[in-house]
Structure 1
Amino acid sequence: MNYPVNTEKLNNLHLSAACLLRGLRLLSTPGLRHLVGIPLLINLVLYGIALVGGVYYFSAFIDWLVPAWLDFLRWLLWPLFGLSFLLIVYFTFTMLANLIGAPFYGRLAEKTVVLLKGQPALVSEASLGKALVSDSLSEAKRLLYFLTRAVPLLVLFLIPGLNLIAPFLWLAFSAWFLALEYMAYPLEVHGYRFDEQRRIAKKLPFGVFSFGGLVTLGLTIPLLNVLIPPAAVIGATLYFLEGQIGDRPDAGSAKR
């Protein structure tokens, strides 16, 4: 199936990164600010809990993961597994935050399109409640997709030898899934379903991994991680607007 997406233009390391940074700058835009406030509060609470829990359990996690016979390599493995621990903790809380904030992110993506293109809203106020339910269901489906792939990856951390490559696999998966997560919102505005979203993402490996890699990095930095999710939604919307996505005939009615 052909998509009205300029894949040659979007499959660009610089463009996706630039859109994410621009998304950060647009967080305070008057037309978007009211949709950003509640997700920011949700993120602040959840990432605060993640930070406290991470500090408390970090040493125990490293002691449990590095067996006694590898003590002589602890200095080398500590930063590797430490980064993995941060990614797992913040990734888990990101999924929870996104599940709660999904209705706001769907509206945020739509409002970004409205402001930047000057076109009328694709979801009327009368159907807002239905749209919010649809966004929550979409987020739940993405969460299921995440769990069916994340659990096998996490098992690798428990297997001696294989746990040395597990952090790199987890990092790659984090970048891919987080890009897919935040790019889903602008794609859904134009009526693209989950399977179609993945097919589009597969055509844009450089853009997807650049965007997702920066999001992953941002989520590990305290305070910045609170801003990253709504900024990523706006940035992903900007990114696809650059690719000139056109409305499909069933846009607005083809949500998952």
Structure 2
Amino acid sequence: MQLGKGFEYFLSGFSLISQKGLKRFVLIPLLINFVLFGSSLFFIIGWIEQGVNYVNSYLPDFLSWLEFIIWPIALLLVLFIYSMVFTVITNFIAAPFNGLLSEKVELYLTGQRVNDDGLADLLKDVPRMLGRELSKLVYYLPKALLFLILLLFIPVFGQVMWFLFSAWMFAVQYIDYPFDNHKIPFGEARQHLKHKQGLSYGFGTAVLIFSMIPIVNLIVMPVAVCGATRLFVENYRINYRA
């Protein structure tokens, strides 16, 4: 089943990040994720506490017991949205390093270089990589706003749609790195992912679930890049191999 296969591709990233020759390329994305996630989560927890206290201040005494319900609901809702928004922002910053990691994973899996560019060429390519991430943001933000409105005003249906949208965007975010390394246009890459939606949603669902697990979410980014590259190599690379 394609959904299960996509999930397995993400899990394969856990073994790839520890392979000899790849560890050093995992380190920088890992440090970026750790620093940004750790520092921002500190503020997020504080904002949740302030928000819950604000709501509680308007509750009458006989409804004070609702605090024990409001806290977990608020925490889950914020973390659910935060895991998606944080990942988009972090990947924008880490894009050049994620692209390099994906390139090295593909070399490890296939024994063939994606390109023969040196360090200077890689640095020149950074603006293009960031432009690619900007294209993802432009693609993401209007849809995120729509699904966020659904989430807030049509709770059950909105939650399902937000989950599916988040899974899709995680797939787009990470599987696009090897597509980008092969200079495949963003629109064309999305069309490929749509043709194998089960695979894409399975992979994206795995990323979403693990992104919401404390501690584990700190290594999700490099794991997802590695797993996405394997998915690309085994399903799409043959179409672009020279």
TM over 0.5: yes
* Contact 1:103 1:133 survives alignment (8 Å): no
| Percent of aligned pairs sharing the same letter | 33
- 2:19 paired residue number: 29
Q: Which residue of 1 is the match for residue 128 of structure 2?
A: 134
Does the CA contact (< 8 Å) of 1:84 and 1:170 recur in 2?
no
Distance 2:66 2:172 in 1: 35
- Please give the alpha-carbon distance, in whole angstroms, between the structure 1 residues aligned to 2:55 and 2:210: 25
Shift in Å, 1:132:
2.2
CA-based RMSD: 2.8
User: TM-score of the superposition, structure 1-length normalised?
Assistant: 0.81
Superposition misfits of 4+ residues, deviation over 3 angstroms? 59-68, 71-82, 156-159
Tell me the equivalent position of 1:102. Answer: 95
Show the counterpart of 2:86.
93
Query: What secondary structure sits across from 1:217 in the alignment?
Result: helix
**What is the correspondence of 1:198-209 to structure 2 with a 5 Å cutoff?**
198-209=190-201
- The counterpart of 1:56, out of the listed 18, 22, 46, is 46
2:108 to 96, 115, 126: 115
Which residue number corresponds to residue 171 of structure 1?
A: 163
Instruction: Name the count of aligned residue pairs.
Output: 237
Alpha-carbon distance in structure 1 between the residues aligned to 2:151 and 2:20:
45
Take 2:69 and 2:193, find their aligned partners in 1: how far apart are those partners?
35
Residues 1:172 and 1:79: Cα distance change in structure 2 (over 3 Å): farther
Preserved CA contact (<8 Å) 1:81 1:167: no
Query: Would you tell me which structure has more helix in proportion to its own residues?
Result: 2
Structure 2: runs of 5+ lacking an equivalent: none
Give the 3-state SS of the residue equivalent to 1:246 in structure 2. Answer: helix
The separation in 1 between residues aligned to 2:137 and 2:29, in whole angstroms, is: 18
Give the one of 2, 7, 12 matched to 1:12: 2
TM-score (norm 2): 0.85
